[in-house]
Structure 1
Amino acid sequence: MTADPRNAGARPPYPGHQQQPRPGLSSKMTPEPDHGETSYVGKGLLTGRVALITGGDSGIGRAVAIAYAREGADVAISYLADEQSDAEETAGWIREAGRRAVLLPGDIRDADHCRALVDRTVAELGGLDILVNNAAAQVVNTSLDDVNAHDLEGTFRVNVFAMYHLCQAAVPHMRPGAAIINTTSEQAKIADKTMLIYAATKGAIASLTIGLSNLLAPQGIRVNCVAPGPIWTPIQPIVKSPDELETLGAQTPLGRAGQPAELAPAYVLLASREGSYMSGALVPVTGGVPML
């Protein structure tokens, strides 16, 4: 990876005609996203810890799983059953780092499944120190009438309700020094007119993060969130038109989409002792787009 941030990842134009049905797979993207497979070097920052990552099969979740494993953590990943092939590839990277991987397919819109994710992680890996609420659903709109009740409720169930259910289940297992890291978005502040519902959920996540950080600080549990900008992940060919995909990230000051590997260090910082005085923070990783 070059030291010049303008060229640290592939630059547009990207191949535009590569749309995918939901939920989308990394293996079908051109170019394939960089999750840090050949670049991330661990420093033992998470030795002996256990992490649960939702949406851990691909994209940002896979990059975080690889980084956490190389930092010494055992990792459980949550994903949809249709993403099994991506999940198995992520598990391979975790195991290559010498750590244990637990694969947990299912739909986090179901509150019982959220609780089961935590129970299985604790049962199979012996505890839970880090919860990364990363899975997300995104719908786009051209008008107010484009989003129906099903899309509205489904997006909130994945992005917000599941986060609450997972935190509620996880906290009783967490000790002082544990960390919860939520994935919000630059859309929490920018709120593009074509992403009404997605932006609303990401704003809710940012607020929920602050509230949880205040609630859990007396227990020694830190809660923070990361706000990605346009990142080259499978959500992009699901929701973007060919023209939008071709120019993804071109409008950022750095002039390109980010790669999942470029998010992982922020999640490592927030999970490790290096971030011990960080709680209630929103960390932007946006290619230079300001979040005011």
Structure 2
Amino acid sequence: MALEWISPREWLNALEGVHLILIVEILLLLVSYVYFVVKAARLEYIGGLFGRHRIRVLGIVLGFLTVGYVLYVLAKIEPNQWVAIFLTAGLLAATAVYALATINLADKTTKMAREMREQTIVSSSATVLAKGIGEYEKQRRANVTSTGQDYFLYFEIYNAGKGPAIELRIFLMKGKNKKDALPDPHRETFLSAGETIDFLGGPNAEPNVSKLDERGTYFVACEYQTILSLDSKKWQRTWLPFTVLKELNGLEAESSKVWVIPQKSERERDVDEKDLIEWPEEHKIG
């Protein structure tokens, strides 16, 4: 018997209502499946609408409908039509293989992009920290034998990261509310990696740390941007909590001198501009 091909018109003439619905569903799912896979492959992050699990569920549904369609029409297939069916099945299989390969490629591309981004962030990020400097530390740096009572001298602000800090803002805070800044904050347009600056040093510094209340916890807050965060308008912020002592181990501090007891530093990432600390009005403590 000669091989006969089924023309599109003959297929349409043979279609019944359920038959047509199955074909339409399969075609729509196939187009959607390929679209989602290709779209996901172009995204850096495969998630949300283009999540891998959703794509796989769509593929499973497509497979079930295809099997149902095949079972539905098997009884109506003539022997000479099997070649066309096998060719169609091969085309569907090739599409499925392509889709799986695209998903795998998208996974590898996403992983590589994330690794490259992490390396870029590490190599260009700034980490601005505050440190209380006392008499002992200053003497140690000068290679001088430590003497005296290690009274507080100033705060040292330093960039411990590998990239510059941009638009650095330094505050002395009486709390962590954005309205809690005390007078005379400091600005630095640019602080290079490894660079340090002094903050609130000397007896004429305002506010004078020696006038702070011993019962309170205060903070040195540093807000800044990095090279990568300039476009996103996100800021980084670090906190150094500390307390002030005017008496230590039964010894009362000399006039206008105190001990500063620092606590563990804290860090915030991706701070919105609306949450930045407000620049304080001029006033004095005590």
Length-normalised TM-score, structure 2: 0.22
- Greater C-alpha Rg: 2
Which has the higher relative contact order, 1 or 2, with Cα contacts under 8 A spaced 6 or more apart? 1
Length-normalised TM-score, structure 1: 0.21
